[in-house]
Amino acid sequence: MERKLSARHMQMIALGGTIGVGLFMGATSTIKWTGPSVLLAYTIAGVFLYLIMRALGEMLYVDPATGSFAKFATEYLHPVFGYLTAWSNVFQFVVVGMSEMIAIGEYFQFWWPHLPGWLPGLVAITCLVIANLISVRMFGELEFWFALIKVVTIVLMIIAGLGVILFGFGNGGQPMGIANLWTHGGFFTGGFKGFFFALAIVLGSYQGVELLGITAGEAENPQPTIVKAVKETVGRILIFYVGAIFVIVAIYPWNQLSAIGSPFVQTFAKIGITFAAALVNFVVITAALSGANSGIYSASRMLYTLADEGQLPKKFKLLNRHGVPLYPVLLIGLGIGLGVLLNALLPIIAPAAGNVFVLVYSSSVLPGMVPWVVILISETRFRKLHADQMAAHPFKMPGAPYTNYLTLAFLAVTLLFMILNPETRISLLIGVIYLGIMTAIYFVKHHPKKAR
């Protein structure tokens, strides 16, 4: 494939895959469980995410390959882990993409209440598939601008919020201060258990940053590009998440957030931006487009990797004249397009099925963790097998292998609290069943072939 992605593309792709409706729409849910201490949850999760990305960056510096973490899992662990990683990534991004298409239909009804909910999603997925087929640079440009819109909105929201907190803009000139962080039941309002319940959803909202590894095979000057992208991406994500949520919990009492609607809308409205609702609605549409765009790219490259490993028909390796894997892009676009079909049929055949789809969406959390676990374990094997290259390696994983083990323990504790939380237990079970089915398929269909 062609190396047409620059550092700015890769950074925005990683940002775009991570900063989405999980922040714009999901902040209220995490705050409900743990209160202002959600700031600490995002910070701690961000630190461990940085370690995961450094482990990935260390391996990519030596081997900048397409479908990197699935390839590393096959090489350094066992082919079944590469298979599971690839299919987990496909599952995660198709499910997320489906939900984004349904969300787009709802967002457009803000302006046109009688517009059929399936129509905007159909137009959106068609345009995104065409853009992804034109060239990888077209994908990169689209994702750059989609992500830039989100980033600019968050920056403006943080600036506006700090104006309210420090100078009293929109509050009669009276600085708001930060007393809301502790005056409504304390910093840890949900206690230890509530904090870890929120941590599971916080980690879910960070999923997608590993897209950086998938883009490596199509990056210009991959080594310096990867180093720069890893160093800058996680820090920026932390700033955007922690900064935005700091503003929200400082301005608004945490226990009143569910009554005010979107805190992003309310923050802009508070300083006199009367079209705040329309502005944020436009931004969440671009966030949905960005999520689906990233999903098409990521999942299609994983299908290409599976074909390269002989686990899908060879036609999935066919590139069009622009160097894009044709059949994987079309198949993933079709899979995400099922969300449009759901949007049209569910209200008719199952009026109460809305919560079921939310359940399916959240079931991507466990499969979404699989690449992280694989990256951390693969890196420990990578070091042993590339000992000669590690001596002069300029971008080593800090503290390895102890930081690997610590991060794995953190992920395990998070999964434990997903089991204890009634609201995430079934979602986790769906992820376990999916991984179990794909493991069985591998050993029945693919493993015997390799053994002969």
Domain 7-446 annotated CATH 1.10.10.10: no
Distance of alpha carbon 283 from alpha carbon 103, whole angstroms: 12
Exposure string for 71-100, b = 16+ CB within 10 A, e = fewer: bbbbbbbebbbbbbbbbbbbbbbbbbbbbb
Q: Which residue has the tokens 């662990």?
A: 77
State pLDDT tens for residues 381-409.
Answer: 999 888 888 888 888 889 989 999 999 99
Exposure string for 228-257, b = 16+ CB within 10 A, e = fewer: ebbeebbebbbebbbbbbbbbbbbbbbeeb
The answer to whether 343 touches 101, Cβ cutoff 8 Å, is yes
Residue 120's nearest CA partner among 103, 138, 105 is 105
Tell me how long the chain is.
Answer: 452
Distance of alpha carbon 217 from alpha carbon 263, whole angstroms: 39
* pLDDT score recorded for residue 342: 73
State pLDDT tens for residues 157-209.
Answer: 889 889 989 998 888 888 988 998 998 888 888 888 888 888 877 887 777 77
Question: The pTM is what?
Answer: 0.81
The answer to whether 237 touches 18, Cβ cutoff 8 Å, is yes
Amino acid at 435: L
Q: Which of 59-63, 237-241, 382-386 has the highest mean pLDDT?
A: 382-386
HSE value, Cβ hemisphere, 13 Å, CA-based, for 130: 6
Residue 394: is the preceding peptide bond cis (ω within 30°)? no
The two structure tokens encoding residue 104: 């787009």
For residue 219, pLDDT over 70 is answered with: no
The answer to whether 352 touches 114, Cβ cutoff 8 Å, is no
